[in-house]
Amino acid sequence: MQYKAIGFNPAASRGDPASSAASDLETLMFTQAKDGWEFVGIQNHSTTVPGSSGCFGIGATSPYETTLSIAVFRQ
């Protein structure tokens, strides 16, 4: 069995964010199903995005925490 992981960052609408996220997930699922991939689930992972020192300190950014969603498929 093969597995595929795809980053999933749905666009959320103001009025109904759950419906817009669900629609994006459906689109991804149907697209992958056409190539024979079966949807397994969504995994959420927390990570720290590193900061940068910039050029001579100009444009430096601080590290920050974020949660990444990964859609998992199998074939």
Q: 37-75 pLDDT, tens per residue?
A: 999 999 999 989 888 887 777 888 888 898 999 999 999
Rounded to 5 degrees, φ, ψ at 9 are -130, 85
Full-prediction pTM beyond 0.85?
Answer: no
Residue 61 belongs to domain spanning: 3-74
For the chain, the domain total comes to: 1
CA distance 17 to 20: 5
CA gap 74, 41 in Å, rounded: 10
Which one is predicted more confidently, 12 or 46? 46
**Contacting residues for 26 by C-beta, under 8 A, at least 6 apart:** none
Name the E strands within 1-75: 3-7, 38-49, 64-74
C-alpha distances in Å from residue 42, one per residue of 5, 28, 34, 45? 9, 12, 19, 10
